[in-house]
Structure 1
Amino acid sequence: MRIITPLFLFLPLTNLTLPVAALPAGGPEPPVQARPPSGTLDHLSPYCQLSLWQHGPGNGASWNGFPLSYPGALPPDVKGSFNYDENLNNQCVNIFELNPENLASQISSCIVTGWCECEFFARQECLQTLFTAANRRDDSLWDRGNVDNRIQSYKCWYTQHEDRFDWCTVTWQGVDAKSFEHINMRKQVVWKRGPRYQDVIDKTRIGKCRRIPDRDHEDWQAISSIVFNGCTCNLYREESCMGEGLGSYGNSGSTILKDSFSPLFYDKGIRSYMCFHPVGVQTADRSDIDTAGNPDLPPEVEI
């Protein structure tokens, strides 16, 4: 079983204009700085998308937008269906121009996804590089060295990092059906290893809803662990990847989700999932690739 496809895209707000402001003096004839449109983002589509927050995601002052796009309807455009404005490519943008209050020099989390890479700077003139990012979610810049509360400007440029994506895997560990016992008139689980199932998600399955085969069978009514390798996946309580979401997990490396006694894993917990190109900071190497470069089961996770 396999999976992959991009997610819904929330378009930028319409009827926006692109105010123009001169960059601070940094040399002869500084380039014109266009202000990219803001909008509501999902960070799972093949567009250049950027979110900046004063504190953690969703907290404090923020800016969400499309650094390389212009507002309005999508044209039959260059770069495929990418809503792309050459004037914004590699242009310096001052954070003050995006949000003059409580954001410049106070950014503590960010997301960069889509067909672009962005560089962040400690000075308004796009000088003094702090870091670059592509397909990266960083909820806590205070953990990344001396970059927290320092971003004053950025520039983004067109790339297609998603084109390098080949496949990823999601590996599920169920429990043995004999693990279910009635104790004091209640059905409880005494954990024993049961079925193991791996979903290999290739390019054609990105963004498509998936479900564990025979999820209603007793040996799948509890899940002891999930290992994500090479992609980011949303988990859902409903069969059709609708309704209440249960969180997003995974990045370009290996991520283990293990919480045996959580409602997330037991009975009516996870019923479906949808995976996308990886977003986030990789903390561990992939564990699902054999010596020939093909999909392989990762090491079993201890119960």
Structure 2
Amino acid sequence: MHLLNFINSLILFLPLLAPTPIAALPASGPDPPVQARPPGGSVDHLNAYCQMSLWQHGPGQGASWTGWPLSSSPGSIPGFNFDANLNNQCVNLFELNPSGLAGELSSYIVTGWCECEFFARVECLHSLFSAYNRRDDTLWERKPDVDNMVQSYRCWYTQREQDFNWCTVSWQGVKPDSFKMIDGRKQVVWEKGPRWQDVIEKKEIGKCQSLPGRNKEEWQAISSVVINGCTCNFYSDEGCQGDGLGSFGNAGSVIVKDSFSPLFFEQGIRSYMCFHPVGIPQAARTDYDIAGKPGMPPEVNL
């Protein structure tokens, strides 16, 4: 009797010991794409990183998003950090800011080494326009074509190399005349010194430039630099080493004077390096001659 009860109990327990059936495996194929989202934060629109600012109304008004469409994390392109998962990936504005940005965009800025295309529908359908180092604060002037129309965008890495032929960096030196008494005080009076221009061609992009034939005193005595058509970094030592003295320039013309950036001149420029232009060109280039070749821009007052 006891043996029969044990057998019956074992029969009831056996299903619990049986292996769980294996679920059907999914069909073989690539893993689904990573739906990365760009990091947001505060940007200055002055460097080579792909940067974007979006506003519901005018700049700083209404719902907004600011950040790096291609990410600022380390990437595989020297000198530029980007996330391959974000390159050419469609991003819906609703996912960046669900509080009134999608379908209500009226202002934007796109800068850096990237181009962005904007679409009237989610999932990047129905293209409206694209932008590269461009700003537009008045989309509302183009109703109903683009204002309050943008629902999504996609960005891709580019430096627009095909648009670059050459750029120029023009220097204005100064020299001390003498010590003179001015208003009862002994002061140094500066006069205009040498003026010269460096032409940066395609092959010289990203290469360090020195200031040959000019001694240390002349390097320090620079009153202004005019940059046309590129963005340049300046350094306090030879070989583009030492303290970085700033990054200036864009696709247009930029004048840097000692009164604007004293550190730039007081520490002395020893070398510099130029790149494809980034940022918004506020002023047209001033270095073209009649034949469309490099020409010295107008002289800058001290």
| Range into which the TM-score falls when normalised by the shorter chain | 0.5 to 0.7
Q: Which runs of 5+ in 2 are unaligned?
A: 1-32
Question: Given residue 295 of structure 2, which amino acid in structure 1 is its aligned partner?
Answer: D
Greater RCO, CA 8 A, separation 6+: 1
- Paired residues of 1:92 and 1:153 also in contact (CA < 8 A): yes
Q: Which runs of 5+ in 1 are unaligned?
A: 1-16, 20-34, 76-81
1:164 deviates by 2.6
Deviations 1:217-246, CA, capped at 9 Å, x for gaps: 434422211111111112233433344433
Q: Tell whether 2:125 aligns with 1:119.
A: no
1:43–1:265 CA distance, 2 compared to 1 (3 A): closer
TM-score when normalising by structure 1: 0.61
Give the structure with the larger strand fraction. 2
1:159 deviates by 6.3
TM-score when normalising by structure 2: 0.61
1:173–1:199 CA distance, 2 compared to 1 (3 A): same
1:94 deviates by 1.1
CA RMSD across the alignment = 4.6
If you compute each CA radius of gyration, which structure gives the higher value, 1 or 2?
2
Report how many residues are paired: 250
CA distance, structure 2, for counterparts of residue 190 and residue 144 of structure 1: 50
1:18 to 22, 34, 40: 34
* Alignment-derived partner of residue 164 in structure 2: 165
CA distance, structure 1, for counterparts of residue 99 and residue 236 of structure 2: 38
1:262–1:255 CA distance, 2 compared to 1 (3 A): closer
Moved more, 275-284 or 207-216: 207-216
* Alignment-derived partner of residue 64 in structure 1: 68
Deviations 1:250-303, CA, capped at 9 Å, x for gaps: 111211122348523544243332211111222222211222222111111112
* Alignment-derived partner of residue 156 in structure 1: 155
* Alignment-derived partner of residue 132 in structure 1: 130
What is the correspondence of 1:243-282 to structure 2 with a 5 Å cutoff? 243-260=242-259, 262-282=261-281
1:266–1:64 CA distance, 2 compared to 1 (3 A): closer
What is the correspondence of 1:109-258 to structure 2 with a 5 Å cutoff? 110-114=109-113, 116-120=114-118, 124=122, 132-134=130-132, 136=133, 142=137, 153-156=152-155, 161-178=160-177, 189-214=188-213, 216-258=215-257
1:156–1:197 CA distance, 2 compared to 1 (3 A): same
CA distance, structure 2, for counterparts of residue 183 and residue 267 of structure 1: 23
CA distance, structure 1, for counterparts of residue 214 and residue 98 of structure 2: 50
